Amino acid sequence: MTDLSNRPIGVFDSGMGGLTVMRALMERLPNESFVYLGDTARLPYGSKSADTVRRYAVQCARALMKYDIKVLVVACNTASATSLPALTEALSPTPVIGVIEPGADAAVAAAPSGRIAVIATEGTVKGGAYERAIHARNPSASVTQQPCPLFVALAEEGLTDGPIAELVAKRYLDPLLARDTAQPECLVLGCTHFPALKDVIAHVAGPNIRLVDSAATTAAAVEALLQQNGLAANGASTPPRFLATDAPERFARVGEIFLGRKISLDAVEQIDLQQL
């Protein structure tokens, strides 16, 4: 029987936001090796139809399968919300895990009274995946949602603080924080790009609202999956590999904001998903 344990973990996102999940995975699973794909040529996914996102997600997954991955992590909330069944079918028997379910776990734990707000892309909000996942865990939860599409552009441009980021954050968050309504106990960062703006979001939200980032919870879920399936690495890790569908130089430069460490341009390979 082939030993799969020392094969890499595949991670993909529409762009660089999923590197926040990759960062959490690398910190929690230092012995594991990783291949990350950012579909930077077709960013953002959040404004596209569910059918288009599913098609793109399957293409990304099949590209990563060429690297003999043992697990696929869908580090994109929009793709997690729309594409997990299609990905699970396309990659079977390779396990697939998204960020919605772990994020819902963290949200319910952070909101004892059940008042939860979710900020995400338009596609994730319209799909209602977070609301369904939260209600599956706490049927009495009160869930409010707000699409924040400009946060993705700000994060990808590196505009993560300062007056522009703060004005956009106030524009999106003020309706959720209206003083004549019961304020949420927690605010779910329902897009993997949003942690790059975590400081400005926290400043606008105020000290009484806990921010929930699904990256750490997703990393814990991946660790549990590896243990349950006997897939935990038993050797030394190899340096991470990065794939981008456009502008590898920009990926290496801006990706550092999300990954929290330098990305060598030599480690970034440009690929064309249409030719795979």
pLDDT at 1: 39
pLDDT at 200: 97
Can you tell me which residue has the tokens 């399936």?
229
> What is the pTM for the complete model shown?
0.92
* Cα–Cα distance measured from residue 98 to residue 91, given in angstroms and rounded to the nearest whole number: 14
Choose, from 60, 148, 186, 191, the residue flagged as catalytic.
Answer: 191
pLDDT at 3: 76
The residues spanned by each domain of the chain are 9-98+216-275, 100-214
Catalytic site includes residue 191: yes
Tokens of 13: 């996102």
pLDDT at 177: 85
Choose, from 60, 76, 148, 186, the residue flagged as catalytic.
Answer: 76
Catalytic site includes residue 60: no
H, E, C per residue of 215-264: HHHHHHHHHHHHHHCCCCCCCCCCCCEEEECCCHHHHHHHHHHHHCCCCC
Task: Determine the CATH number of domain 9-98+216-275.
Answer: 3.40.50.1860
Note whether 9-98+216-275 and 100-214 share their fold.
Answer: yes
Series of mean pLDDT values for 10-residue runs along the chain (276 residues): 83 95 97 97 92 97 97 96 96 97 96 96 91 97 95 90 96 83 90 93 95 93 96 92 97 94 96 84
pLDDT at 270: 97
CATH architecture classification, 100-214: 3-Layer(aba) Sandwich (3.40)
The gap between the terminal CA atoms of the chain, to the nearest Å, is 28
